[in-house]
Amino acid sequence: SARRLLLLLGLAGLLAAMAAGTWQLGQCPMKHLKEPQPEQGSPQEQELEVTPACDNEEEEEPVVRGAPSTVSFRISTANSLLEARLEAHPGWLLVCHGHWEPSLGTLLCQQLGYLSMTQQKAVSLRDVQVSAGQQFLQVRARQEGSLEDMWQVRSSCQSGRIVALQCSECGLQAGAVRVVGGTDVSPGRWPWQVSVCQGSQHRCGGSVLAPEWILTAAHCVHSPQPGAGSPQCRCRGCRQLPAPAWLVFAGMVTHGSLRPEAGVPVRAIIAHPLYNDSSLDYDMALIRLQAPLNFSRAIRAVCLPPAPRDLLQGTPCWVSGWGHTAPGQAQVAGTLKEALVPLIGTRRCNSSCVYKGELTARMLCAGHLRGHVDACQGDSGGPLVCWDGDTWRLVGVVSWGQGCAEPNHPGVYTNVAQLLPWIHQVTQMH
């Protein structure tokens, strides 16, 4: 009887441990991991097919496709003057303030990859050195059609005033990942990287867009209902955890220095309304903080992708995070990691030897088909950034993948450029 009782107690303990383990897995490991499909063969067979037919030489379409435009804009770093250039028209033109509307400032800042406009004003031509033969671009009196159709070239500026524009600061490092194969990060290198925590437990990464706004993945802020879904967190019946459950930590590199009182409480979480917790389409959420972050060398915002710019396969980008640094590891990294992961063409990533058509237009791939370097659990929601020659742009949000750093299974990221209208709409409305 005693032996039978001990056996029953041991069995009960084993079941309880299994239940606890299942519950922990059910809390979403923060990068959705898919199990290999049975038809993909044994690991030995997969090893022989590390670079199959998907590694062809066919030229890929842009991974991130910009919106073509006949007019482009820039802001002078010296004096904040707005400048424009038309197709088939030489040189940059100053923008005359005549017929200017305040809403144009916001629209142009957003098109250039900034979250918002901070200041716009009219500057007298007498206060600016203008070269001989300088031409101007001016808004048409009747503003109809698209942004690129509302301009006309003028040989003079009758109002005598030109437009100066300032947008929200972003994309600058202080100096100049769960990341498998990554290296430690020095303070201030990725100042927009934050840790999104449940209480003081790291759950996901995120990116600072503005003092009050953090961008992360929608699956980060969802938790499966009891009995719903699978340990891989592709679940039906997921619910969004309430804002008071979360804290955001910014300006840190090591989790050892994490103090609960340093976390910023969350006011609201807005997941994309089309987020699908089964396919992970539209995997994006915005977090609004209860108090704005104090920007410093260690805390800064990242820029968004500019509307008209293409990004091609092979573009070098960086992923960062505190996630697991080896497949199967149980704990997140103590120090922020980073890794270089080039963009991979979507056609190649959707091919039969990689993700078999699972990528939607709201997703992109980055990494190496040979494996070894990748984002992992705990990195979800974190930034994939690319340098455009002037500033760092947030191109992707860590979303999902099959395993971590496996051959032919690179990381999949939410395509930020595809969801820019929603980002601007939410941050302006709230």
What average pLDDT does range 420-429 have in this prediction?
Answer: 95
Helix H or strand E encompassing 424: helix 420-429
Catalytic status, residue 380: yes
What is the structure's pLDDT at 413? 96
What average pLDDT does range 228-246 have in this prediction?
Answer: 60
396, 384 contact by CB (below 8 A): yes
Residue type at position 42: S
* More confident of the two residues 173 and 224: 173
What is the structure's pLDDT at 258? 67
Q: State if pTM tops 0.95.
A: no
321, 184 contact by CB (below 8 A): no
Catalytic one among 32, 255, 281, 283?
A: 283
* More confident of the two residues 403 and 335: 335
Catalytic one among 207, 320, 351, 380?
A: 380
What would the pLDDT profile of 134-157 be if each residue is shown by its tens digit? 889 999 877 666 777 788 899 999
What average pLDDT does range 342-353 have in this prediction?
Answer: 92
Catalytic status, residue 277: no
Nearby residues of 3 by Cβ (< 8 Å), 6 or more positions away: none
> Rounded to an integer, what distance in angstroms lies between the CA atom of residue 32 and that of residue 277?
10
- Cα torsion at 344, 347, 351, 354 (round to 10°)? 20
User: Is residue 4 pLDDT above 70, yes or no?
Assistant: no
What is the structure's pLDDT at 167? 96
Bridge partner residues of 225 (DSSP)? none
> Rounded to an integer, what distance in angstroms lies between the CA atom of residue 157 and that of residue 99?
11
What is the structure's pLDDT at 25? 27
What is the structure's pLDDT at 8? 47
Catalytic one among 32, 97, 202, 219?
A: 219
* More confident of the two residues 201 and 327: 201
What would the pLDDT profile of 164-190 be if each residue is shown by its tens digit? 999 999 998 765 433 445 555 667 889
Sketch out the chain's domains with CATH numbers. Answer: 71-167 (3.10.250.10), 174-429 (2.40.10.10)
Catalytic status, residue 272: no
Q: Which of 144-148, 280-284, 388-392 has the highest mean pLDDT?
A: 280-284
* Confidence at 329, pLDDT banded by 50, 70, 90: low
What average pLDDT does range 343-364 have in this prediction?
Answer: 93
* Confidence at 42, pLDDT banded by 50, 70, 90: very low
